[in-house]
Each structure stands twice: as C-alpha cells, then as structure tokens.
A and B are shown apart, each in its own frame.
Chain A
Amino acid sequence: MSLINITLIVYVLAAISYIVREIWGSMATRWASLGLLILAFCLNLTLVAKRSIEAGHPPFSNLYESLIFYACCTAFVYIIFEFIYNFRVVGALASVLTMLILLYATLQDDTIRPIMPALKSNWMLVHVVTYMLGYAAFGISFVTSIIYLVVKPFTKKSKDSKEDEDGREILPRNFDKLSYKIVAFGFPFLTLGMVTGAVWAKKAWGDYWSWDPKETWSLITWLAYLVYLHTPLVLPKMNINKSKASVILAFWLLFAFGIVNFTFVGLNYLPSASDSEHIYGSK
C-alpha cells in the first residue's frame, strides 16, 4: 500500500479516536487520539519530504504537491493548538478536514515535472510556507465555527458562561472566542505570505502587484479576514447583541474559508484564468 493511503487511514483512525475520546473522555483516550494524529502528521511529513527528494525541488510546484503540504500544515497547526488548549471534539473534525485535503490530493496528477525558472526563489519558499500555515489556521477556525454553530442552539442562555481566560478546557459554546484566537494566529501568516509573494513577484515578474486573478483573490481572502477582525468593534455599536454577533461572525468564518478554498483551487473556473501567470494548471 502506498504511503499516501496509509497516511489517509491513520487520519481516519485519529478522527475515530477523537470521537471515542469525546464520549469516554479518559486520559488514555486523550493520548491515544493525539498520538494517532501526531503519527499521521509524521507520515504526512514523510510524504512531503519524500516527494521533494524525488522531485528535487521544494514540494509546491503543482496542485498535488501543494495539497499534501497543505494537509501537513493543517495537522501541524492543529497539534500546536491542541497543546495550548484542550480542544476535545475539534480534533475529530480537524482530522477529517486534513484527510479530505489529502484525499483531494490523490485525485490530482502526481507526475513529477521540472519546475519553471520563476519558481526557483527563496521568497517563494517563505511565501508558500507562511501562506499554508495561514490557510491551515483558517481551516481549524472553520471547524471550530461549525462546532460553535451546531452546539449553540443546545446551550442554555446562562449568563455566567464560565470561561477560562487561559483557555484550558474551553467549552464548545465558547468556541467563538477560540475561533477568534485561531484567526488571530493565522492572520499574520496570511499577511506575511501576501507581502513575501509581492516581493517575489517584483523579483520574478517586475511588479509587486498586477491585479492578476490569483493576486486579487488572495487580497479578497485577506480582506475577508480583516473584516472579521474589525467587526467585533462595529457590531456592539449597531445594537446587535453579543450572541447574535457571535453567530454572524461564525457564519462569516465559514464563508471566508470558502474564499480561501476558491483562491487555492477554484481559480481555474474564472474566465480570466487563462491570462494568469500563477494559477495551477492554466499554463
């Protein structure tokens, strides 16, 4: 069996063990689920490493390579957060999300092709790595928003929603705050990714910004999360109560993650895709 299939299976096992842990909640299941996810992550990392050795270049030159790297980043970011906060059920969905990304990678053409000259740049390396870490964080915030929206109707309107500032053992009904923290973690990466991308474009194509569809959509993504980060300052002034505001923001995060995915893999559907220098598969 190929490494990628084994990795997929371990991700599924991790997801299952996270669900088991949610039901029994013993310390043993906690370590089992985290252990399985770390194992899956290590396999995924091996996959990335193996690929870059075989291809002889950093593994981001086509959609297949980017996707396995993206999956790897998602697992990594989740694991970091798991160490900071006790995440509970998020792990199950995060594993499923990662698994889906990897599954999507298996549908792509995995032929190794020599990379084009413009991709041979250190800026490109920083650019992709930071972007992927940002996207990974947004993926996790997508998961926490889903859980928040699902759990929300079942929680009583208790005024004293006890929350631990340090975040240990955050209850799903407070996942709106958790989402914010994760976005706040990812946003600087997204910004760095965008800036290094611009610097790289200047070096390779002579212009840091040329309103190319890929550039424009990454700006849209950035603006979407910028809106998310600013709205908490607006909503209270608009007579929107706190719980309604949280729901709006959670929905906004689902939508914003949709934009992330479109920027990542959907641009081929744009009529302007054929003019672009940067879209996978358009050239």
Chain B
Amino acid sequence: MKNVKQNQPRVTGETKGKGTSKQISPEKAGRHERRDSNKVWEFFCSVKLAVVIILIMVVACILGTVILQEKTLDEYVARYGYGLATFFRFTQLNNVFYSHWFSFLLILLCANLICCTIKRWRNTFLQTGFILTHLSLILILAGGVIKFQLGVKGGVNVYEGKSVNYFLTQLINRQGKLDYVKKDLPFSIALDDFILEKNEPKFQLVTYVKSKDRQKILDVKVGKKQRIPGSDYKVTIKDYIPDAELKQEPVNTSDKPDNPAVFVKLFGSEKATAEGWLLAHDRNYYEDKKQNLRLEYIWVSSQQELDNTISSTEGTTAKLSVTISGEYRDYPLDLNKVFKLEGTDYTIKMLQYVLNYGDKRPLSEQPQDNPAVQVEINGPEGTETRWVFEKFPDWDKMHPAKYKNVKITCSGIASTYMAKNTIRIFQSPEGKQVIVYIKDKRVVETIPWELGEKYTIADTGNQITVSDYFPSFDFKKEVIKKSDTVGIPAIYVEAEGPAGKVGDWLFSNNQYATWYTDNNLALVYESTGESVKHFTSKLRIEENGQTVTEKTIRVNDPLKYKGYVIYQSSYDPEAGTFSGLQIAKDPGIPVVYTGFGALCFGVVFIFYIKPFLRKKQKKAAEGQ
C-alpha cells in the first residue's frame, strides 16, 4: 500500500517534466541563451550520449588490447614500422588508457552520469538502485583519479638478511625509452627469511604415435590397460617403484664365442690400479694417459690370423698405397709433402690424418676407431681432395670422385699414434692366447696367458691378470628399489600392438624415448617439473632503526603499513635467494571500494529487488 503511494510521484514527476519542457520552448522562443543552456543540459542528460560514449570506450578498449601498450619506441618501430609507430605516438594509441582523449571520454562519462542522475533524482525507494549504480561509477572513477595522482606502484628485490628503503617504478619516458624511477620509502623493509616451498614432483607417461604425430599423456595407474586413442596400441603399467635403480650384472649366456669378453685387472707396483670388462666387439681397450699405456683385447678368428697379427705388429709404419693404371706404389705418411707419381701426370699430397674420423678432439685424445687420411690429388683435370679410410678401403668406389682411376688405401695410421706402451691380449677360438707387450712399436715380449694368473710386464712395473672370460657376454638388467620415498621413480610398461607384447622398465631420469618394436610408438616417463607451491617472505619494517611491525607475507596476503601495501610478487628463479616485492600506495582505495559496494548493491537492487517489489505492488493494486 505504502509502495503504491511512493510510486505515484515518480509518474507524475515524469509527465510534469516532459510537460514543462514542451511548454518552455514555444513560450520563451526569443530567449536563446536559456534554450541553449537547456540544450546543453539535455545533451549531458541523454542516454544517447551515454550509449555513444560507451560505444567509443568499447572501441578504445579493443584498440588498447590489439595495439601493444606502453612499449619502448624501438619495439614499436620494430613491430609496426616507423610510420605507424609515429602515428601511434601522435594519437597516443600506444598508451590508450592513460591518453588525454581517453581521460576526456571518462570526464564526459562522469558529466553524463552526474547530470542524468540529478535530472532523474526522485526520493522514492524504487530509485535506490538507479542512483546507487550511477553514483558508484562516479566514485570508482574518482578513486581512479586519486590513484593516478597520488598513488605509486613499483617493485624491489630484497636479498635475505638485507633491507631496502626504496623501490623502483617503471615508465616509458618522453623519448619512448624504458626508464626506472627510484622512490624513497619513509621506512625500511628487512627480509629476515625467504621460504620457497615446492610441490612434490609429479610424473607422467607420455606416449607418441609417429605415424599420427599425436601425443597423449596417460594416467600412471598400475594395472589399468589404456588404449592410445586413434591407434591400435594398448599400454599397461605393470609395476611402479618410487625410487628405483638399474643394476646391470654381467652374465655369460652361452659357450659359443658370440661376444667374447675378458675381465682384466691391472696392478701398479702392488695394488690394483684398474679393473673391468673388455669386450672384443665393443669397447675393447683401456687407456692410461698418465702412464702412456694402452691395453687392448683382440679376438682373432683363427690361429693363422693370430700369428699374422702378432708378426705384423712390429715395424708397422703408416703408409699410403696408390694404385694407378694397374701399378702399385707405397708412400710413407708424410704430411704436406708432394709426391710425384712416377710415369704419370699425377701428384699427391697428404693434408692431415685422424684416428677417429669426425672426432673434434685433439689426436692424442681420439680413440683409434676410424683412422683416416685426407689426400689431395693433382692431375690433368685439376685438384681433388678425398678422405681415405683405413677400415673402409673401398669407400672411394662407392662415392663420387673425380679420379676414379686412382685408388688409394692406407694402413697403419693408428701406429703413428701408438701409445709408448701397448699391451695386447690376444685370444682365438682354438684356445691359443697370448699377451703381447709392445714398446715403441717393437714387440718386447709375448707371454701365453691363463685365467687367473698374474703376469709381470717387463720393465713397466705393471702386472696383469685376466681373471674371467665370458665367450658370450651380456648384461642382466635388474631394477631394484632403493627406498620408499619418491626419488627416481620407474615404471614397468607393457605395450601391445601389431608386433605383439613387449615390456620394459622406464626410468623417469632417462630423457630418451623408449620405442616399441615397430618404431612407431614411443614412450617417455618424465617429471612434469617441480612447481612452486608457496613462497613467503618474513618481513620486518624498521623506522629510525627500530622494528615497528613484522609479518610473513605471501601471495594474496600482503603487509600494510602507513598507507603502503607490500606484496609478495616474485622470487629469484635461479638461486632462490631474493624475494621480489611489489609496493603500492593508493589513497583512493576507500573511495573505490565504496563504489564497488554501491555498484554491487545497486545492480542487485535494480534487477532483483525492484522487480520483486514492483510485482508485490501490482498484486496489492489488483487486490484493492
């Protein structure tokens, strides 16, 4: 009932308002001034203006996000070119939200809000929302102006145990360059402690199907068979160890010499200086650079070969053999000397040699895996340069060469860089086995050896024992659990696909993918990286050397003192020793927050409370 009455003046007020304005115009037609000021008033009251301003603001906002804001002049020139960069600077499109024209727009908006609110002001309860929302926006904008005029915001990094009494603000200066301005604080901030708390590392199983170029992260759940979408593969995690270690134990798999290996112990004067497996087909030597000693394990396929190899050791010299039109010539390895091939138009020159082709290390550090010589051939058709490989004598046949008629091979390259002392352990299937000691390229002694016996090598002061022999060497892999806490986790994964079922252990510290038999499915078990859980700074505020307040701050929980608010904003990502603080002072906050409150209540009133009250009024009116 009461509400109905309240509603009345609103209606009459409106009609009255309209009525007077209609009456005024014809009556006072002569008084231009009055009419003009009326027009200005009407202009500032109109919703049309409001809509237009808001639409312009929308466009300005879009521009302000599409065009990069507040960057240095160099960045604008690099990105948009000189012309556009100058245009943006001129029109302040490089700083839309703080430009003069945007401020003008906001002032216009304020004027509009004030005028329309005054014009429509009626002391009725139902108007509450309208007035509150419109006033709240004025408050918020006014608070923004206060912030802009009196507020500061900046940052500073503080190291543990140190204190600061200033901070830095960032701005783009008139020259379009990034500038820092130091602002003093009326107190100092001491960082007593900085704590960086990290989340427990998490691990994931990533699968990759090459033919589909598709990656998928699977759940690390033991026992669940998981299908890889878009393919025929299925993956099951069969086991999980939170802290695993791979133990590789040497084993002999058969008596056939498939992969012969010997376990060799080398003794100095008394104690063992080195021991380990030497594998004939794989890693077949051990080098001791200090002693200039090289230990080799050589498997020869027959007695015959064994004898030949031993006898040819001595007097081996590096040489180059050149065959041209059926004639064969040998040349010693002598760099940069020009050799004339007698009876032909050709000359050759050796440019350089290596012990392991492609190895960038100095010669003395290269293993003798792939010795090669680079040769320059000069003939009737000019110069040709080619590499000649000791172990691949037919290389030139298979590769393009200018002088196909000139065949070059080389041998004994490695002997040029033979260690001063070389011990070769020979073994052959027939059972003959000898240790050959070579010093300065001459065979000093040849000793037949037996398992477990200790032999003294002439005057080197070394003793050697071959303590074990595996004709068919292999590693037995065993994964063991080191502890129950998460260290280096490993999972046993079984993959099913067109090539059947295969299983293997995947270690989280192995950065290489494990491929399924068909080389189309790859699996990687990896850490998702340690992420930061919390970072906190124990701060102490000091004034005139005295502690006035203390607080441990964290993100979302700042320290407030004398109008300044100190926020935890970042940290030193490398060493974790400094704390990044953000410092802000904004005296406009109470005004803005009042505005926020009024705005929230206002909209709720307009759109929820007012319709509800209206409905009640109507019902009451109908009831009468």
- Chain A 215-235 interface residues, beta-carbon cutoff 8 Å to B: 216-217, 219-220, 223-224, 226-227, 230-231, 233-234
Contact B603 A231 (CB under 8 A): no
Say yes or no: A234-B533 contact (C-beta < 8 A), given A206-B565, A270-B66: no
18 chain-A/chain-B pairs, Cβ below 8 angstroms: A114-B533, A117-B532, A185-B607, A188-B600, A191-B600, A195-B596, A204-B555, A206-B153, A206-B558, A211-B64, A211-B69, A216-B64, A216-B97, A223-B58, A227-B58, A233-B47, A270-B66, A271-B68
- B200 — nearest CB in chain A belongs to which residue? A114
Cα A23 to Cα B387 in complex, Å, equals: 85
Say yes or no: A208-B592 contact (C-beta < 8 A), given A114-B531, A184-B607, A213-B65: yes
Chain A 224-264 interface 0/1 with B at a Cβ cutoff of 8 Å (1 = within) = 10110011011001100000000000000000000000000
Say yes or no: A234-B556 contact (C-beta < 8 A), given A117-B532, A206-B582: no
Say yes or no: A187-B68 contact (C-beta < 8 A), given A113-B531, A231-B51: no
Cα A215 to Cα B604 in complex, Å, equals: 22
For A170, what are the chain B residues with a Cβ–Cβ distance below 8 Å?
A: none
- Chain A 127-156 interface residues, beta-carbon cutoff 8 Å to B: none
Contact B532 A211 (CB under 8 A): no
Cα A191 to Cα B604 in complex, Å, equals: 9
Asked if A282 is at the interface of the complex by the 8 Å CB criterion, the answer is no
Cα A199 to Cα B140 in complex, Å, equals: 13
Select the residue from A204, A208, A226 with max chain B CB neighbours within 10 A: A208
Query: Of B51, B68, B567, which one neighbours A272 at CB under 8 angstroms?
Result: B68
- Summed over the interface, the residue pairs from A and B with CB atoms below 8 Å come to a total of 116
Asked if A120 is at the interface of the complex by the 8 Å CB criterion, the answer is yes
Chain B residues close to A by CB (< 8 Å): 46-48, 50-51, 54-55, 57-58, 61-62, 64-69, 97, 144, 153, 199, 202, 204, 217, 528, 531-535, 554-558, 565, 567, 569, 582-584, 586, 589, 592-593, 596, 599-600, 603-604, 606-608, 611
- By Cβ-Cβ distance, the 10 closest A-B pairs, closest first, are A117-B555, A188-B603, A206-B584, A206-B567, A233-B47, A114-B199, A211-B97, A213-B65, A206-B582, A191-B603
Cα A207 to Cα B153 in complex, Å, equals: 8
Asked if A121 is at the interface of the complex by the 8 Å CB criterion, the answer is yes
Contact A234 B199 (CB under 8 A): no
Cα A113 to Cα B607 in complex, Å, equals: 39
Asked if A34 is at the interface of the complex by the 8 Å CB criterion, the answer is no
For A185, what are the chain B residues with a Cβ–Cβ distance below 8 Å?
A: 607
Contact A227 B556 (CB under 8 A): no
CB distance from B43 to the nearest CB of A (A): 13
Cα A272 to Cα B69 in complex, Å, equals: 8
A-side binding surface: helix, strand, loop or mixed?
A: helix
Query: Of B48, B531, B582, which one neighbours A234 at CB under 8 angstroms?
Result: B48
For A104, what are the chain B residues with a Cβ–Cβ distance below 8 Å?
A: none
- B567 — nearest CB in chain A belongs to which residue? A206
Contact B47 A230 (CB under 8 A): yes
Cα A237 to Cα B533 in complex, Å, equals: 58
- B534 — nearest CB in chain A belongs to which residue? A117
CB distance from A245 to the nearest CB of B (A): 13
Contact A238 B533 (CB under 8 A): no
Say yes or no: A227-B600 contact (C-beta < 8 A), given A118-B555, A188-B607, A207-B584: no
Asked if A32 is at the interface of the complex by the 8 Å CB criterion, the answer is no
For A211, what are the chain B residues with a Cβ–Cβ distance below 8 Å?
A: 64, 69, 97
For A226, what are the chain B residues with a Cβ–Cβ distance below 8 Å?
A: 54
Asked if A205 is at the interface of the complex by the 8 Å CB criterion, the answer is yes
Say yes or no: A234-B51 contact (C-beta < 8 A), given A111-B217, A272-B68, A272-B69: yes
For B611, what are the chain A residues with a Cβ–Cβ distance below 8 Å?
A: 184
- B202 — nearest CB in chain A belongs to which residue? A114
For A206, what are the chain B residues with a Cβ–Cβ distance below 8 Å?
A: 153, 558, 565, 567, 569, 582-584
Query: Of B558, B565, B593, B608, which one neighbours A188 at CB under 8 angstroms?
Result: B608
CB distance from A61 to the nearest CB of B (A): 12
CB distance from A225 to the nearest CB of B (A): 10
Task: List 19 additional A-B contacts (Cβ < 8 Å) besides A114-B202, A226-B54.
Answer: A111-B217, A113-B528, A117-B532, A117-B535, A118-B556, A120-B555, A191-B599, A195-B599, A202-B589, A203-B558, A204-B556, A204-B567, A206-B569, A207-B153, A216-B61, A220-B62, A223-B58, A272-B65, A272-B69
Asked if A198 is at the interface of the complex by the 8 Å CB criterion, the answer is yes
Cα A88 to Cα B24 in complex, Å, equals: 51
For A238, what are the chain B residues with a Cβ–Cβ distance below 8 Å?
A: 48
Cα A216 to Cα B66 in complex, Å, equals: 11
CB distance from B11 to the nearest CB of A (A): 16
Asked if A31 is at the interface of the complex by the 8 Å CB criterion, the answer is no
- B611 — nearest CB in chain A belongs to which residue? A184
For A80, what are the chain B residues with a Cβ–Cβ distance below 8 Å?
A: none
Cα A198 to Cα B593 in complex, Å, equals: 10
Select the residue from B153, B533, B535, B556 with max chain A CB neighbours within 10 A: B556
- B604 — nearest CB in chain A belongs to which residue? A188
For A198, what are the chain B residues with a Cβ–Cβ distance below 8 Å?
A: 596
CB distance from B604 to the nearest CB of A (A): 5
CB distance from A214 to the nearest CB of B (A): 9
For A207, what are the chain B residues with a Cβ–Cβ distance below 8 Å?
A: 153, 584, 586
Select the residue from B204, B528, B555 with max chain A CB neighbours within 10 A: B555
Contact B600 A219 (CB under 8 A): no
